[in-house]
Structure formats: structure tokens, C-alpha cells
């Protein structure tokens, strides 16, 4: 069956942008970098819910060394524009102190969310802290942060699919879709 090139979610139109195969290849590439850096360091991955759940799942399946995963839930976005307010809905239970931590994010847009996460994780005194993101909108960046592992850089367009949502919908899509103006 062919993929639909155009989809509708609520009131908006989206077009196919990044296919699943491309997404998985780019995750495979960063999994090798992560292997090189952390295969003997028992890392603790922190998956940022909800958006990073698919990325975390496919990345973890590529890793063949001892590691753990924990989940944190944030809310910072409404509709298609960042509102800049970050709320921790489900905090971390796992002990971060003295661990080699990797935060797993779906997307870095303005960078405010990851900046908040970096600060709040550093306060828990990890041994090291790295950031892995599926997507990076470098043109939208406002915060002074960098990501250690970037699967894909994209332009400053609103996207859905592969975990990312538009008002809660579209997370189940295998591919990534871009909003049509």
C-alpha cells in the first residue's frame, strides 16, 4: 500500500516530509556515536514524554550494552506555537547522582525545554550529562544550549508524527509530516 502524501489533523493540512526509513537510518547513525561514547559507562537514558517515546524505543533497540531508561513528563506546548512555560507533570524517581545521563528529546525548537531539563538534571549531580534529540530546528534556537547527538536537522516548520503531535493527535504516524501553509 502506498503512503498518503497528504493528511488532515483537526483543522490543518500536513504533507509527507520524512519517511520512516530515513528516520530509522538517522537513529542508527547516532546509536553508533552513543555506543562509542557510552558502551562501558552504564548510561541512564531519560526519555522526555510524551513526544520522545517512539524515538526512545527505536534508539534503545539499537543499543547492545548495559543501560537503563527512565521517563519524565513535561508540558510546554499548545497548538503549533511554543508558549514557553514548562511544567513537570511526572518527575524522576530514579537516582541520577553519579550516573552518566543522556536526555532523549523529540525535538529542540526554541531550546527552552531542553535548557530547563539540563539545569534541573545538573542539579541532581550526574557524573556526566548528554543530550540526544531526534530533531533539531536550529533556525528557531533561542537558548544557549547544544545537543550531543542530533538525528536530523530540519527547517523551522511545524511537524507531526513519529511521537510528535498537533494538539494531542498524530503521534501514532510512522512518518513525519510537515504543516502546509
Binding positions for ligand IMP, rule: CB under 6 A: 51, 76-77, 82, 105-113, 158-160, 164
Per-residue interface string for the shown chain with Mg ion, residues 106-125, x marking contact by CB under 5 A: x-------------------
Buried b / exposed e along 31-41 (16+ C-beta atoms within 10 A): beebeebbeee
Q: Which of 37, 40, 106, 109 is catalytic?
A: 109
Distance CA 46, CA 176 (A): 23
What are the grid coordinates assigned to 106, written together? Answer: 523529540
Count of chain residues binding Mg ion (CB under 5 A) = 2
Nearer to ligand IMP, 129 or 162 (CB): 162
Which one of ligand IMP, Mg ion, none is in contact with 43 (Cβ closer than 5 to 8 A by kind)? none
Whether 141 contacts 153, CB under 8 Å: no
CA-based nearest residue to 132, from 50, 44, 73, 10 = 44
Stretch that binds Mg ion, among 3-11, 33-41, 80-88, 99-107 (CB under 5 A): 99-107
CB of 76 to ligand IMP, least distance (A): 5
Q: Does the footprint of Mg ion cover residue 51 (CB under 5 A)? A: yes
Which strands, in side-by-side order, build the sheet including 44-49?
Answer: 81-90, 68-78, 44-49, 100-108, 128-136, 149-153
Distance CA 84, CA 126 (A): 26
Distance CA 137, CA 132 (A): 14
CB of 62 to ligand IMP, least distance (A): 21
Which one of Mg ion, ligand IMP, none is in contact with 82 (Cβ closer than 5 to 8 A by kind)? ligand IMP
Q: Clarify whether 167 is annotated catalytic.
A: no
CB of 167 to ligand IMP, least distance (A): 10
Task: List interacting residues with Mg ion (CB under 5 A).
Answer: 51, 106
Which residues have a catalytic role annotated? Answer: 109
Amino acid at each position: 500500500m502506498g503512503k498518503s502524501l497528504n493528511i488532515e489533523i483537526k483543522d490543518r493540512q500536513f504533507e509527507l516530509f520524512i519517511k520512516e526509513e530515513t528516520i530509522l537510518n538517522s537513529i542508527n547513525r547516532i546509536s553508533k556515536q552513543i555506543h562509542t561514547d557510552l558502551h562501558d559507562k552504564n548510561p541512564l537514558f531519560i526519555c522526555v514524554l510524551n513526544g520522545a517515546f517512539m524515538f526512545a524505543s527505536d534508539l534503545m533497540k539499537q543499543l547492545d550494552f548495559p543501560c537503563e531508561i527512565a521517563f519524565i513528563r513535561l508540558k510546554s506546548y499548545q497548538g503549533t506555537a511554543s508558549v514557553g512555560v514548562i511544567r513537570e507533570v511526572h518527575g524522576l524517581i530514579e537516582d541520577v547522582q553519579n550516573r552518566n545521563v543522556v536526555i532523549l528529546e523529540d525535538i529542540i525548537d526554541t531550546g527552552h525545554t531542553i535548557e530547563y531539563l539540563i539545569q534541573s538534571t545538573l542539579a541532581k549531580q550526574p557524573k556526566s550529562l548528554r543530550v540526544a534529540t531526534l530533531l533539531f530546528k536550529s533556525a528557531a534556537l533561542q537558548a544557549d544550549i547544544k545537543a550531543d547527538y542530533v538525528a536530523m536537522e530540519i527547517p523551522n516548520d511545524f511537524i507531526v508524527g513519529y511521537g510528535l503531535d498537533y494538539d494531542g493527535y498524530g503521534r501514532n504516524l510512522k512518518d513525519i509530516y510537515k504543516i502546509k501553509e
